[in-house]
Amino acid sequence: MDGRIINNDVRVRSHIVGTYKGHGAEDVCGLKWSPSDQHLASGGNDHVLFIWDRSTASSSSPREWLQRLEDHTAAVKSISREFVGLWW
């Protein structure tokens, strides 16, 4: 594992529509799209939660995160809208 998130849309011919990289070599444990589908939250074994903007994602190169939340004391495996409500 390399900590990448690859967003696939099997409805289109070139189905890789976005790549996100921020968790380093750690596994990604949780993903949650915002209700508008414009933002993605990802949590990992690195104890970090990232917020990504779908509009900046690219199939050819990973994009920077919008927000990085590092105050977790364990792996981020579950993401709830109530706790990350600031971004949607």
| Structural domains in the chain (count) | 1
Lowest mean pLDDT among 20-24, 30-34, 62-66: 62-66
Distance spanning both ends of the chain, measured CA to CA: 29
The per-residue pLDDT for 86 is 56
In angstroms, what CA-CA distances link 29 with 7, 12, 15, 17, 60?
15, 26, 22, 21, 23
pLDDT by residue (tens digit) across 39-70?
899 999 999 999 998 887 776 666 678 889 89
> Which two three-digit tokens encode residue 44?
């990992």
Which residue would you say has higher pLDDT here, 75 or 13? 75
Mean pLDDT of 26-36: 89
The per-residue pLDDT for 1 is 61
| Domain assignment of residue 66, given as a range | 4-87
